Amino acid sequence: MAALHPPVCDFGWPAPGFSLPGTDGQLHSLTSVRGPRGLLVMFICNHCPYVQAILDRLVRDCRELMGLGIGCAAIMSNDVAAYPEDSFANMRALAERMDFPFPYLYDETQAVARAYGAVCTPDFFGFNAGLQLQYRGRLDVSGRQPGPPEARRELFEAMAQIACTGQGPREQQASIGCSIKWRES
Whether pTM > 0.85 for this model: the answer is yes
Q: Is 11 within the bounds of a domain?
A: no
Residues of the chain with pLDDT under 70: 1-2, 4
- Residue 7 domain-assigned (yes or no): no
In a domain, 141, yes or no: yes
How far is it, in rounded angstroms, from Cα 143 to Cα 67?
27
Residue type at position 81: A
> Is residue 111 assigned to a domain?
yes
Q: What is the DSSP string of 56-88?
A: HHHHHHHHHHHHTTEEEEEEE-S-TTT-GGGSH
Please report, for the domain that includes residue 110, its CATH number: 3.40.30.10
The reported pLDDT for the residue numbered 44 is 98
Supply the pLDDT for residue 7.
77
Write out the residue range of the structural domain in which residue 58 sits.
19-179
Residue 12 covered by a domain: no
- Give the pLDDT confidence score for residue 183 in this predicted structure: 93
What residue spans of 34-168 are helical by DSSP H?
49-67, 88-98, 111-116, 154-165
State the total domains in the chain: 1
- CA nearest 62: which of 134, 126, 142, 148? 126
Domain annotation covers residue 5: no
Residue 4 lies in a domain: no
The predicted structure's pLDDT at residue 134: 98
pLDDT score, position 2: 64
Beta-carbon neighbour count of residue 148 at 10 Å?
A: 9
